[in-house]
Amino acid sequence: MCMRRIQAELSDWLLDPPEGCCLESFEPLMEWVIIMAGPESGAYGPSLYRDDTFRMSVKFSEGYPLEPPEVLFIPPSPVHVHIYSNGHICLDILSDQSRNGGWSPALTISKVCLSLRSMLASSTEKKRPPGDLEYCLRTRNRSPRETRWEFHDTTV
Amino acid sequence: MTSGQSPRARQVTPADLAAVEKLKAEGNFAFRKGKYAAAIERYTEALLLAPNLPVLRVNRALNYLRKGELVKAVEDCSYALRLDPNYMKAHFFMGQALLEQGELLDATPHLSKALELARQSGDTIKEQIWRELAKAKYRKWQLEATARQEEQRALAGRLRGLLRRQQDTELAEEPGDEAAQAVLREAHAREDAALAAVLDRAAAGDRAGEAAGAVTCCLTMEVFREPVMLPSGLSYEDSALAEHFAKVGHWDPITKEPCKPSQAVRNLSLRAAAQQYLEEHNWAYGEIC
């Protein structure tokens, strides 16, 4: 199922890419690189990231879309309270550990990108998550999919 | 029986049958190794002993198909279908061989019949048949759409020419009257736009796009083939949902409510709707094959 589904998502993306995003590469098909422009406007006027451009790495597994893709920012990552400096993102829809919310196979990379952009848009402060340095040392060279996230804050 | 001329006249003895079974097993083994010529030899030998055993014809046909000897594949399948008109694989290989030969019109009924038979018996080969059928329908649509486009383009050219001539005549009837000419020009511009809109609408049916979400499975992102419904009311492609139950867990993939695989029931209405959608939007077959 996974290859056909990724192929289908790719066709849809090329036909109708999410706002502010473009594909830098999709070769091999299981590993995409996405370029994301920071959102123009935020909750209170212009967004903090409007002049920034970020690169994201998306890795699909054989179990996709039943399991979530591995999505992270390629450093330098946006300075955001849910994004670690190594690019790991604390976002419930990227995790299959939470049964409420969490990843759903009905989601697509396109929808994930829109979520991430709105997460950036609603940020009011350029700040790293608490314990950023310690987290980055602990998870060096590891996939964010191995992290046990705790989703305590749903406001940002 | 000693006449020996007609294959039907010869009695197959138990010793023959044992030899046939052995040759067939050897043929199947060679096929799995990709040695199609060797497999064909075995089946041919077996057919000398039991000419009317359809399975030998069908197995040989598959090897011919893999080797690209399409005419022979069609021959063997036709023979098998004369012996057993409801032989699913004979219809399938026949359809595939005809499709490869570009005989789209002849291929489709065989593939459709094979799909129907595979659905009845629940054979997992049905997915493969479905994709071949989609391929046949998509290629047919490509040919028809190309022809239609050319026809419409030629017609559009003629219509525009006729309209322009009529408009010029009307303008010539009001020589020197600037105001009347201006009114006419405005009316003519509206006519031109209306004609363009009509022609565009006629061509729209053949423009490929994104298949409608209502007939698309959110797991496979393909148009539904065998939708099954869960207690939540949401439907999923049968094979994708089975994979979810086996590998992830026993809950609805979207609502995450716990449910048992046995609670998935076939959604025939949605299947019919998806089928109808495909018939009306033939280009959508392109995403399946």
Give this complex's ipTM: 0.75
Count Cβ–Cβ pairs < 8 Å, chain A vs chain B: 47
pLDDT of residue B78: 97
pLDDT value of residue B4: 43
- Is the CATH number of domain B14-123 1.25.40.10? yes
How does the average pLDDT of chain A come out, rounded? 88
Contacts of A108 in chain B (CB under 8 A): 221
Task: Provide, rounded to the nearest whole percent, the portion of chain B with pLDDT above 70.
Answer: 97
CA A14/CA A32 separation, integer angstroms:
13
Q: Does A11 touch chain B (CB under 8 A)?
A: yes
List, for residues B181-213, the tens digit of each pLDDT value: 899 999 999 999 999 999 999 888 888 777 788
Read off the tokens for B266. Answer: 């076939």
Does CATH number 3.10.110.10 belong to domain A2-143? yes
% of chain A at pLDDT higher than 90: 56
pLDDT of residue B211: 76
- Quick check: B1 pLDDT over 60? no
pLDDT digits (tens, 9 = 90+) for B88-145: 999 999 999 999 999 999 999 999 999 999 999 988 898 899 999 999 999 999 999 9
Q: Is the pLDDT of residue B7 over 60?
A: no
pTM for the model stands at 0.73
Closest Cα partner for B61 from B50, B47, B48, B49?
A: B47
**pLDDT-wise least confident of A9-18, B34-43, B53-62:** A9-18
Two tokens at B58?
Answer: 């069908």
A121, two tokens: 């848009």
Say if residue A47's pLDDT is above 50: yes
Mean pLDDT on B215-240: 93
The answer to whether the CB atoms of B254 and A66 lie below 8 A apart is no
Catalytic residue among A2, A21, A90, A136: A90
Looking at CA atoms only, how far is residue A104 from chain B in angstroms?
6
Instruction: Decide: helix, strand or coil at residue A41.
Output: strand
- Interface test mutation site (partner B, options A3, A5, A67, A103, max chain B beta carbons within 10 A): A5
CATH code of the domain made up of B213-287: 3.30.40.10
